[in-house]
Amino acid sequence: MSSGNDCQTFTKPAFGEKEATELVDRVFGLKVSWIRPLPSYADQNFHVRISGNEGAPEGADEYVLKITNLEDSRKPDLIETQTQAMMFLSAEGFPSAVPYLTKDGNVMSLVSGGTGSGNTKYMVRLLTYLPGTPVAKIATNTQILYEIGKLAASLDKALTEKFQHPSVKSLHRGQFIWNLANVPLLDQYIYVLGQNKYREVVEQVIQQFKGKVIPKLTSFRACINHGDLNDHNILVDFSSTSLETPQYRVSGILDFNDMSYGYYVFEVAITIMYMMIESTDPLSVGGHVLAGFESILPLTEEERAALFLLVCGRFSQSLVIAAHTALQYPENKEYLMITAKTGWKHLMKMFEVGQEAVEKLWFETAKAYMNHGPAE
């Protein structure tokens, strides 16, 4: 497996705050008045506030400095495509960040620095800072779950039908470990779980995935996936101030690093899985997300039949890859293991309740929306 596709090979940048401040000045011509690190998986991110700059857009004085990991920094076409997709979505009305151009007028720049050797180069971008609260920090209700499902479908549909770029082929990422088609690649990493009930369930997921999902892939509708609409990558704010039934709207979509060609049903499965993480009633979540998604893109019978295993497959990917990565980067373990806090419990519960009962709950909930519209 080539570098960058393999979940065990990424070199996270290690820039200090002073070095990052100088980088913003040198590459983007902006003076930093305040900087702090942001949590991240494989890249390094800083929240920066800019002191008054004549060239900056009005009101845009906060940014995220994104320093890409070493392996992905060697794929400029991929990063360029992801960045252009963000700009396209912003122009289409989606709450996506856009890049502040370098002094040379580019969306990104390759720089040396961090703790690597002198010839270590990382791709850097300065993205607009999006306001809002991560979904992980709110008590989700049916209204926002429906909206997030709708967003997932609308976003993939816009990218697939309208987004054009010379390097769009770079989104065909083959063995990319986070593409949902690659659940079988987990075989080589499950040793990190040891011998226990968790490993037994993941092994069952992988085997059933190979037998029931992989042969059906050609019948699914292909598209470009965001691929990581998790509870930390979706920001929301209040659209009403009622304390009893707060209404939310999505105010930001973050992290396009996992974009790849996949299938529409992948996106709804990934979104369901991540919305389950913080929920007090996780099994019911899928029906509300599905209803929102299907208000834009109704699933086919084949796609619906695969949904349960696709959600289990994403749980397995997230839990196994996080455990594997935490072994290598123990200093980042707390961030890496966020999903694991409740993820194992939810995956085990899904298997315990069984596919038929979970699907019945999801599909009946989604059907109710068709008859009555979104729940208040």
**Catalytic sites, residue numbers:** 228
The β-bridge partners of 14 are none
DSSP per position, 215-251 = GGGGGSPEEEE-----TTTEEEEES---SSS--EEEE
Spell out the alpha helix ranges (H) of 99-228: 142-162, 197-208
Residue 108's Cβ-count burial label (10 Å; 0-12, 13-18, 19+) is buried
Amino acid at 94: F
User: How far apart (Å, rounded) are the C-alpha atoms in residues 88 and 79?
Assistant: 14
> What's CA 332's distance to the chain center, in Å?
18
E strand or H helix that includes residue 181? none
Pick from 243, 311, 270: nearest CA to 156: 270
The torsion defined by the Cα of 358, 359, 364 and 367, in degrees rounded to 10, comes to: 140
Contact 237, 96 (CB under 8 A): no
Q: In this structure, is the dihedral angle defined by the CA atoms of residues 100, 101, 103 and 108, taken in order, positive or negative?
A: positive
* The token pair that represents 259 in the structure block: 């974009």
User: How far apart (Å, rounded) are the C-alpha atoms in residues 88 and 376?
Assistant: 32
Q: CA Rg, the chain, in Å?
A: 21
* The token pair that represents 342 in the structure block: 């409740």
Give the end-to-end CA distance of the chain in Å, rounded to a whole number. Answer: 48
Contact 248, 289 (CB under 8 A): no
* The token pair that represents 376 in the structure block: 């208040």
Q: Tell me the residue length of the chain.
A: 376
Q: Which residue has the tokens 């620095």?
A: 113
